[in-house]
Amino acid sequence: MPNPKVRVEPAETEAAAWHNRLGEPRVSGETIEAFFAWREKPENADAYRRVEKAWAQTGGLENDPDILGAVEAAMTRKGDGGKKERDRRRLFGLIAVCASVVLGVTAWTLLQDRNVYETSVGETRVVQLADGSSVRLDTASRMQVRFDGDRRLIDLEQGQALFTVAHDASRPFVVAAGTAQVTAVGTVFDVRRENGEVRVTLVSGAVDVVGDKRAPQRLVAGHQARVTAERVGARAVDVAAETSWTEGRIMFRDAPLKQAVAEVNRYLTDKIELDAPGLESESVSGVFRTGDRDAFVSAATAALDLKASAGKGGGVRLTAEK
């Protein structure tokens, strides 16, 4: 018997996508506003109501043990490659039939690329994405990847990452970090999220940076945008210094001692304790390997009126010379 042909209307596909996005644990105000704008069209509103009704009736098809078991079996089945491919097509034909009942919700959930990647303290790693893009995650960082047919979304939940984006004009590459959102098509840029601030450094190409309820700001190569709850500001920066971590180095040029210690500590489990209030604003310059605490302590005590002693656990304590 021939496989049934299932037709899902564009409005229904979009409605399924919106239902999935609005069901995520965290939904931004921009997403909600965009949903309301999309729903203003009568055909979209009708499609969304049908999706909600179908979803309520099925109780969430993506959790059905039979469907999940079939997917698992298809992915692990051994034997003739042609038979495996035919079985795979039959399986997704079945899922397509189910999707026609729930108007695409299940298919959307199963086919989305949702992966979480993270690094521990002192660790960096490179993640190759399905679209050909790559992400280098810095120490103690975490991101969630969500790709669909319309866009490529990365949620940088903490830390820092360098993004090398594969060109795809039809699918923008979007990085969300707190209240900041960065949109690119094909480019290289660095995003750091820390203490309520997001810093976006553009290495090449161009990106649009958006703060909370603010107009997009175009960033050009060699510049950095700083995004806070109050404003978005851009300035020229030393890109080599800002991205030196990708080569396993930390570069300081007249950085305040307190800031330099905090930066070195990002890569350490046994950290440096700075207890020298009068010296915290003193300038520090130099290039250090990430994780090389002793080299930094030696340079700091040689350049400033500091002394080092044993700190908590296996840490080091820096105090002012008396």
pLDDT tens by residue, 227-250: 988 888 899 999 999 999 999 999
Q: Where in the chain is the domain with CATH 2.60.120.1440?
A: 113-239
d(CA 47, CA 302): 69
Mean pLDDT to the nearest integer, 110-128:
80
Residue pair 137/154 in contact by the 8 Å Cβ criterion:
no
d(CA 138, CA 205) in angstroms, rounded, equals 22
Confidence band, pLDDT 50/70/90 cuts, at residue 85: low
67, pLDDT greater than 80: no
Q: Does 43 have pLDDT greater than 90?
A: no
Could you please report the per-residue DSSP string of 126-183? EEE-TTS-EEEE-TT-EEEEEE-SS-EEEEEEEEEEEEEPPP-TTS-EEEEETTEEEE
Q: How confident is the model at residue 101 (pLDDT cuts 50, 70, 90)?
A: very low
- Which residue did the predictor score with more confidence, 106 or 311? 311
Q: How confident is the model over 275-301, as a mean pLDDT? A: 95
Q: How far apart are CA 206 and CA 198, in angstroms?
A: 17
Write down the CATH number for the domain with range 113-239. Answer: 2.60.120.1440
Tokens of 67: 């469907």
Copy the structure tokens of residue 79.
């034997």
Number of C-alpha atoms within 13 angstroms, CB side, residue 182? Answer: 33
CA dist 129 → 168, 181, 213, 273 (Å) = 13, 19, 29, 38
Of 17-21, 51-55, 249-253, 267-271, where does mean pLDDT reach its minimum?
Answer: 51-55
* pTM listed for this prediction: 0.65
Quote the tokens at residue 243.
Answer: 């991205």
What CATH class is the domain 248-320?
alpha beta
Give burial (CB, 10 Å; 0-12/13-18/19+) of 272.
Answer: buried
Per-residue model confidence as pLDDT tens digits over 104-113: 443 343 334 4
Inter-axis angle of helices 29-39 and 42-58, nearest 10: 110
pLDDT at position 106 is 37
Q: Give the pLDDT confidence score for residue 112 in this predicted structure.
A: 42
Q: CATH 3.55.50.30: which residues of the chain? A: 248-320
Report the helix count and the strand count for the chain, using DSSP H and E.
9, 18
